[in-house]
Amino acid sequence: MDQSISWITVGSVEDIPRQGSRVVRTDFGDIALFRTVADEVYALEDRCPHAGGPLSQGIVHGARVTCPLHSWVIDLASGEAVGPDEGCAGHCPVRVVDGAVQLGLAAFRPGRGGCGHG
């Protein structure tokens, strides 16, 4: 792990429903934390690159989430839209230490928009 990042504990893995999501409010806007069926935790900006839909409200399957507004599928690890759609949701480093979920907010990387329709 990058030692230069300062990590902020925001809750525990158990606080996030499996195959679900919780939101953390930050200065960068809302960050959506996802917990997959395999208990992996990911953090993305809570904004679909397509039309800004709240990804935290989508269905989580495998390591992906489907946006609730127009069913874009976003890869949780990279924030990239799954083809043929193009765009990338903002991404935030996250790690789990002894069940505590920690965000590396300083290393937040903003997203880039998609096709812009809808």
Partner 1 sequence: MSTHTNPSTPRERLVVVGNGMAGIRTLEELLAKAPDRYDITVFGVEPHPNYNRIMLSPVLAGEKTFEQIVLNGRDWYETNGINLLTGDRVEVIDRANRTVTAMSGLTVPYDKLLIATGSTPFIIPVPGSTLPGVVGFRDLADVDTMLEAAARGGRAVVIGGGLLGLEAANGLKVKGMDVTVLHLMDTLMERQLDRSAGALLRHELERRGIAVLTGADTAEIVGNEKVSAVRLKNGQELPADLVVMAVGIRPNTALGKAAGLACGRGIQVDDTMTTSDPAILSVGECVEHRGQTYGLVAPLFEMAKVAAAQLAGGTEAAYTGSVTSTKLKVTGVDVFSAGDFTGGKDCEDIVFRDAARGVYKRVVVKENRILGAVLYGDTKDGGWYFQMLKDGTEVAPVRDTLIFGQSFGGEGAANPKAAVAALPDSAEICGCNGVCKGTIVTAITEKGLSNLDEVRAHTKASASCGSCTGQVEQLLALTLGDGYAGEAKAKPMCKCTDRTHDEVRRAITALDLKSIPDVMQRLEWRTPDGCHHCRPALNYYLLCEWPGEYKDDSRSRYINERVHANIQKDGTYSVVPRMWGGLTSAKELRAIADVVDKFAIPTVKVTGGQRIDLFGVKKEDLPAVWADLNAAGMVSGHAYAKGLRTVKTCVGSEWCRFGTQDSTGLGVKLERMTWGTWTPHKVKLAVSGCPRNCAEATIKDLGVVCVDSGYELHVGGNGGMHVRACDLLVKVETEAEVLEYTGAYMQLYREEARYLERTAPWLERVGLDHIKRRLVDDAEGRAALNARFLFSQSFSQDDPWAERASGSVDRHEFAPLAQVG
Q: Site residues (CB under 8 A) for partner 1?
A: 8, 10-11, 15-20, 22-28, 30, 33, 36-40, 51-54, 57-64, 66, 68-69, 71, 73, 77-78, 103, 105
Query: Is 39 or 112 the residue whose CB approaches partner 1 more closely?
Result: 39
The pair of three-digit structure tokens given for residue 38, joined into one six-digit string: 């395999």
CB–CB of 65/49 below 8 Å? no
Minimum distance, C-beta of residue 112 to partner 1, in the bound complex (Å): 18
* DSSP symbol at 88: B
Minimum distance, C-beta of residue 88 to partner 1, in the bound complex (Å): 14
DSSP tally for the chain: helices H, then strands E:
0, 9
